[in-house]
Chains A and B, each alone.
Chain A
Amino acid sequence: MLDTTYNVETPEGIDLRARAAGPVPRILAYAVDVFYRSLILAAIGMGLFFAGFAGAGIWLVCAFLLEWFYPVFFEVMRRGQTPGKKSFGLMVVNDNLTPVSWSASIVRNLLRFADFMPFAYATGVISMTLGRHFQRLGDLAAGTLVIYREEEKAPIALPDTTPLPPPQNLRQQDQQALVSLLERHEDLSEARQRELANLLEPITRKKDSDALSYLRSVGSWLLGGRG
């Protein structure tokens, strides 16, 4: 229940990983979409205000299209993201993590009404909470999934160090620990890093910034740097 990762094996034998999005961000995203939709409708309404009865007819057609096809349009044409989903970093995908198709998007959005029953998306929220991957009924029928879109991370600049070989053969785990200390040099405060480095004092026989720079050097060597 707490593990929201979703794995799919592609034909190439690669495990794709994604994180399924829970009810709260989805409800918020939906609220944003409702806001935009009302805004669009209001704008169209003002534009058609002077067209009289005929304008009202066109407005009703627009209201119909927005009600049922606004999400479909964005999900298919904008890579699975309605404006609301975009603002919360969510996206809709097929459950094999491919981009959502027209038919799947239409199904999940037509069935929105059932998820709404009896009021305020009660059925949808119950279905999301009970299922493994937070799928509402529309998602289950369409075979779709709402996931977090991973943010692009800029490659980190590693601190400038002269690589040094480790004093002895380190186990894989220890190597990884050293490398991730190096990787996280910008996320952790300098003091905390020194504190962590001091934990290894019995082995490195160094303290504070000496210890830290030594560990960084070793980490850099492990990553493949040579002096």
Chain B
Amino acid sequence: MLSKVAERVYWLARYIERVENTARLAKVHSQLMLDLPKSVKLSWYGLVQITSNEDYFALHYDSRSEQNCMKMLLSDRNNPASLISSLWWARENIRTTRDILPREAWIHINELYVMVKNHQEDFATRTKRNELLSKIIRACQAYTGMLEGTMSHNETYRFLKLGMLIERADMTTRLIDEGGLFVAQEHFEKDDESYFDAILWANLLRSINAYFMYRQQYQTEISGQEVLQFLTQDEEFARSISYCLNEMCWFMRKLPNPEPMQNALKSLQQKISAEQKLIIGSNELHNHLDWIQKELSQINRLLYSTWFNPKQVA
């Protein structure tokens, strides 16, 4: 398989996963605004922060309004990290790899792109926005399921999986960070704290469809500590970081020269599992999540040197 083709397929999957996650993020944030009392401050700018878009925002927008934050995150075609840009890139990558993907892949994504493009102004108002975001999430899920069910689980599929999993792990760190940031900035009365925290964490879990899975695992009241554990260390939940790393290891076993990559993934996974006492809202947690994100981009670089831009003669 040509490296370039593998790279395109990998990014295709990353972009689709990013589209879905960005939609989830925007949706849960809107939801949270409704659930928390007016006295609790929750800024839209948090969305800019957790997607690491502060610099771009400062350059192109003035006030940190809902309108601006949503526009930058969802429909700003000049922002390479916006939902519409990710979708455009996903479509471009499918267009140039059509011959190795099921025909429906193109139809699905092209339709989704056209639909989003024609309804961009819906992102501006809350009710319409949520409806459109739900549609986008559902379309992404249908697309992923379609590939799972119709594709040979071959090299192409393995690179799709790798892209999806690394993007998913990355987004999970960002979500936890969002929760932590929120807890850190609040100055509640001692009694209220746990109450609002529970709302916050429940919403975060819902944003990645993790609420019910969490509930089955932990029957007690929702606690930030346990959510943190669930999303980073759980071995069975599909969006926990540990799970994603394990899966990546598994999916690359049939690719050429996987050992160095697998070792890097295993060692990262072990370090994450070993982490015991991080306090929600603490700087340590934020740094820990930052560290995971950096490790993930290290993994991404390793993917390049191993498969996408090999320097060694086979």
Q: Do A and B come from one complex?
A: no
Please give the residue numbers on chain B whose beta carbons come within 8 Å of chain A beta carbons, in ascending order.
none
